[in-house]
Structure 1
Amino acid sequence: MKKKEYSIVISSAFLVLVFLMMFSCKNENNETSETAENDSNKNTSEKAIPEDLKWSERMMLSEIKRFPKASKLDFVDKPRWSYTNGLVLTAAQRVYKQTQKEKYYDYIYAYADELIEENGIIKTYDIEKYNLDMIKSGDVLLYLYPKTKEERFKKAADTLRKQLAGQPKTSDGGFWHKKRYTHQMWLDGLYMAEPFYAQYTKMFSEGDKAEKAYNEIVRQFDLIQEHTLDKETGLLYHGWDESKEQKWANNETGTSPNFWSRAMGWYGMAMVDVLDYLPEDHPGREKIIGYLNQYAEALLKVQDQETGLWYQVLDKGDQDGNYLEATGSSMFAYTFAKGANQGYLSQKYLEEAEKTYKGIINNLVTVEDDGTVNLNQCCAVAGLGGDPYRDASFEYYVNEEIRSNDPKGTGPFIMASLELNK
């Protein structure tokens, strides 16, 4: 073969090779592009919160999505030790118990790990404020200590128990809600302190010391019944001022003027949860179960029959501005369901819990495109006194901020979902 012809053959072969390489790359790019497009379509069709899970887990995952750090639950910018964290993490404990998915345990542990220093000091907490709200997250410590044996968790729990030992009291022995709320008992405080107090006593106290603690716990329920119960309706007022000095306090009785849904919700949860730890042979058990039955019967009389829900101000559903409120309704569903499941209430209350739960799903729950679950129409916050002054009037309660996904609603919703196996 001549040199010129040989060169032409080589050149032709090179061009064919280049063409084949270009064609191959083009096909590879097309396949890669098609694969990426298919993956993209697959990812967009997958939901962040799977809808085939139970409502309890769907809401728990939604809370973790909203608040990746449990220390910032309740829409806060900085980590803090507070009762809302303890409430949602109590729900997380129960979701973990049912599912055994480490994600939920890790979420609980991360909260305590972040806020409890090696020496047991609780970050952002000040014992001198004697604020019962701060006791609630102690439930997390009592949960983690037996599992981890980390002494810092026991030391922090001891600090909260020390607060209870020094908590200012009314003349008849009732815990003030906070040191700055002098002479006042609020329904809220029963849930914030008594389940922790009872569990701590069961875990760490014996003999006369334990008996004295259990008696004091039951005494708080006795006093709240004595001072805040309205005998005509069976409902309990939000708060009581022994001194009758507060502008919201009745001149004769010292009670606040209205029946707030969530205050009653706190109280109901306090009763069913403290019974988990009060000894079977303690006479206070039967008293609290009696209070619970009286409470449940009174609530049915003010329930919205069409939806199974309750109004923000319980007995004034027909007044302008009142609304069906999510946190209280979720708390009542949980209280009724657990009360019936544990045998404290008759089985009709399990049916009532089902009715309320259905009302919550149909009227107050929405689901986003990615599966995130929202609980709507939650009262953000309400209290008594303070600055600016909260007068506990009907107008005050119905005009406080309403928002979605308040942890004071999502936590009880998760616990009600578990009790009802939804």
Structure 2
Amino acid sequence: MKNSILLLVLILTCSNRITAQQSSEGRIPQYKVPYEFPKVENIKDVLNRIRVYYEESSNQTIVDSKTGAQITDFKSFNKDAVPSKGFSSEWSYTHGVVLSAFEYIDDVIDDDSFFENNTKFYDYVLKNLSYFQKNKNKIHQEKIGSWGRILNFHALDDCGSIGAALIKTYSKNKDEKYLSLINRTTEHISKNQYRLDDGTLARNRPQYQSVWADDMYMSVPFLINMGVLTQDHKYFDDAVKQVLQMASYLYVEREELFDHGWNVTSGDYDPRFYWGRANGWVLMSMAEVLSILPENYKGRAEILHLYRSMIRSLSNLQDGSGFWHNLLDKTDTYLETSCTAMFTFAIAKGINEGWISHVYGPVALTGWNAINTRVLENGAVDGTCEGTTFAHDNTYYYHRGKSIYATHGYGPVLYAGAEMIRLLQNDKIEIKTAKINARNSTFHFLLKSEWPKN
């Protein structure tokens, strides 16, 4: 009898403790990524850490590829001469995104140190490019180190993104030495790059007559900025055509997303893979076009619809951590940094420009909080998917590597940070912040003009 009473007392005691726990700590959400309100100064710190990491990646010299020694005598040609290794020495599309982001940050915050890198890099290229150009017949390979095919553009990757950043840099420093490279890039994109019969920019890899979503960013930002530079609307028209015609091949209305690629032989039955970064390239391209095109320009409304529909779909696909998955519709693929940054930028940009509703604010905010966890103390950006071809099987996409050396994430993170600063400082919006350690509290972005004045 005594044992029975003791057992009953023990059960009641444990039950009361469990009930007490459930009524307090157990009911407070445990977030994977801090569910907190970001501060502008903290975002600036992230941007500066990335900038310093970038600057320290290379001394921007010409070196002997076999010995590593710097070349200082340019009177005779060294067949082993290459640009020094390092992110800040590359003539690459990923570096183009960083330089465009630096130019954008220059407009957002009062800090010259970002844009100074643009002039420094392009001056470095133009100072040394003639050394390779005049000795072109002595170079027995297609690529020159990290400058790739700079002597002979073969693809949009070779010139489009970094060419767009070059135009943006020229628009501020007006250095006429830049015009030769700008004109060469124009020649390639407008005249030499392969196109389908309808004028859509395309590649003959990996399949014959293939359209890649990535190529929207490798061409459209250059074209739209060339239109600004020259005041010739033929570049605007081509930019609009590329967005809408690529969408006709790649946009899947039911999913409100872009397939990574399409090729003519698979036609209407092309297999669909919703790769994160491909959709990020598309949204960033659309944001650039929408920022520049006049309000009633032909085709702008259709692009705005695509932009809005993609953001609606992506908001629903965001993981509870704030990240997006490498394959957007496959929740067992890893959480990826570059596409998360691209979507965060595009959503924050859309709110700031009035293209989408302010109610999407928490999607951008939680996206930024997620990104923040991937920027290491030294400024390296981790968790970015490696360079990825247009593939035709899930297994390939599932197993793409990710690292700090996949430089595709740096520019988008810089862009996302700059746009989040704009969003947090947007005087048209009031932000109701979530309470820390509350059982039921979230962020609300309110449009001030909607509410009655007191």
TM-score class normalised by the smaller sequence: 0.7 to 0.9
> Normalized per residue, which structure has more helix?
1
Matched, 1:106 2:112: no
Residue 91 to residue 221, structure 1, CA distance change in 2 (3 Å): same
Residue 270 to residue 78, structure 1, CA distance change in 2 (3 Å): closer
1:163 Cα deviation after fit: 1.0
Query: Is residue 309–residue 360 contact of structure 1 (8 Å, CA) maintained in 2?
Result: yes
Q: Which residue of 2 aligns with 1:402?
A: 402
Query: Is residue 195–residue 277 contact of structure 1 (8 Å, CA) maintained in 2?
Result: no
Which of 184, 188, 193 lines up with 1:163 in the alignment? Answer: 188
Query: Is residue 312–residue 323 contact of structure 1 (8 Å, CA) maintained in 2?
Result: yes
The C-alpha deviation readout for 1:104-163, integer Å capped at 9, x for no partner, is 333111211122258987964144513345211112321232444332201210111111
Q: Which residue of 1 aligns with 2:170?
A: 145
1:350 Cα deviation after fit: 2.4
The C-alpha deviation readout for 1:15-46, integer Å capped at 9, x for no partner, is xxxxxxxxxxxxxxxxxxxxxxxxxxxxxxxx
Residue 51 to residue 302, structure 1, CA distance change in 2 (3 Å): closer
Q: Which residue of 2 aligns with 1:57?
A: 48
Query: Is residue 70–residue 111 contact of structure 1 (8 Å, CA) maintained in 2?
Result: no
1:366 Cα deviation after fit: 3.4
Q: What is the alpha-carbon distance in structure 2 between the residues aligned to residue 254 and residue 272 of structure 1? A: 29
Q: Aligned with 1:104: secondary structure?
A: coil
Matched, 1:349 2:350: no
Q: Which residue of 2 aligns with 1:11?
A: none
Q: Aligned with 1:240: secondary structure?
A: strand
Q: What is the alpha-carbon distance in structure 2 between the residues aligned to residue 51 and residue 294 of structure 1? A: 31
Residue 374 to residue 147, structure 1, CA distance change in 2 (3 Å): closer
Q: Which residue of 2 aligns with 1:335?
A: 346
Q: Which residue of 1 aligns with 2:418?
A: 418
**Where does structure 1 lack aligned partners over 5 or more consecutive residues?**
1-49, 245-250, 385-390
Q: What is the alpha-carbon distance in structure 1 between the residues aligned to residue 110 and residue 176 of structure 2? A: 25
Q: Aligned with 1:136: secondary structure?
A: helix
Q: What is the alpha-carbon distance in structure 1 between the residues aligned to residue 83 and residue 344 of structure 2? A: 22
Q: Aligned with 1:276: secondary structure?
A: helix
Q: CA RMSD in A?
A: 3.0
Q: Which residue of 2 aligns with 1:190?
A: 216
Amino acid at match of 1:312: N
Which of 255, 267, 279 lines up with 2:282 in the alignment? Answer: 267
Q: What is the alpha-carbon distance in structure 2 between the residues aligned to residue 76 and residue 365 of structure 1? A: 19
1:179 Cα deviation after fit: 7.9
The C-alpha deviation readout for 1:216-270, integer Å capped at 9, x for no partner, is 211111112211122322221101112x2xxxxxx34263531101101111111
Q: Which residue of 1 aligns with 2:32?
A: none
Q: Which residue of 1 aligns with 2:450?
A: none
- Structure ID, larger Rg: 1
Q: Aligned with 2:114: secondary structure?
A: helix
The C-alpha deviation readout for 1:252-298, integer Å capped at 9, x for no partner, is 42635311011011111111012222223302221111110111112
Query: Is residue 58–residue 87 contact of structure 2 (8 Å, CA) maintained in 1?
Result: no
Matched, 1:280 2:295: yes
**Where does structure 2 lack aligned partners over 5 or more consecutive residues?**
1-40, 63-81, 134-143, 425-454
Q: Which residue of 1 aligns with 2:389?
A: 383
The C-alpha deviation readout for 1:70-107, integer Å capped at 9, x for no partner, is 99999759944211111111111123334444433331
Seq. identity, %: 23
Matched, 1:307 2:300: no
Query: Is residue 261–residue 312 contact of structure 1 (8 Å, CA) maintained in 2?
Result: yes
The C-alpha deviation readout for 1:162-199, integer Å capped at 9, x for no partner, is 11221221122210146886412111111111111111
Residue 68 to residue 93, structure 1, CA distance change in 2 (3 Å): farther
Which of 220, 231, 235 lines up with 1:205 in the alignment? Answer: 231
Q: What is the alpha-carbon distance in structure 1 between the residues aligned to residue 392 and residue 180 of structure 2? A: 38
Residue 268 to residue 75, structure 1, CA distance change in 2 (3 Å): farther
Q: TM-score, normalised by structure 2?
A: 0.69
Q: What is the alpha-carbon distance in structure 2 between the residues aligned to residue 360 and residue 76 of structure 1? A: 23
The C-alpha deviation readout for 1:47-72, integer Å capped at 9, x for no partner, is xxx97943222322232234454999
Amino acid at match of 2:54: E
Residue 102 to residue 420, structure 1, CA distance change in 2 (3 Å): closer
Q: What is the alpha-carbon distance in structure 1 between the residues aligned to residue 177 and residue 340 of structure 2? A: 37
Amino acid at match of 1:381: G
Query: Is residue 57–residue 88 contact of structure 2 (8 Å, CA) maintained in 1?
Result: no
Q: Which residue of 2 aligns with 1:297?
A: 312
Q: Aligned with 2:293: secondary structure?
A: coil
Matched, 1:360 2:382: no
Query: Is residue 132–residue 178 contact of structure 1 (8 Å, CA) maintained in 2?
Result: no
**Structure 1 residues 84-103: aligned runs within 5 Å:** 84-103=94-113
Q: Which residue of 1 aligns with 2:273?
A: 258
Q: Which residue of 1 aligns with 2:8?
A: none
Deviates more, 1:89-98 or 1:266-275: 89-98
Residue 194 to residue 101, structure 1, CA distance change in 2 (3 Å): same
Residue 145 to residue 240, structure 1, CA distance change in 2 (3 Å): same
Q: What is the alpha-carbon distance in structure 2 between the residues aligned to residue 134 and residue 181 of structure 1? A: 22
Residue 157 to residue 330, structure 1, CA distance change in 2 (3 Å): same
Q: What is the alpha-carbon distance in structure 2 between the residues aligned to residue 261 and residue 194 of structure 1? A: 19
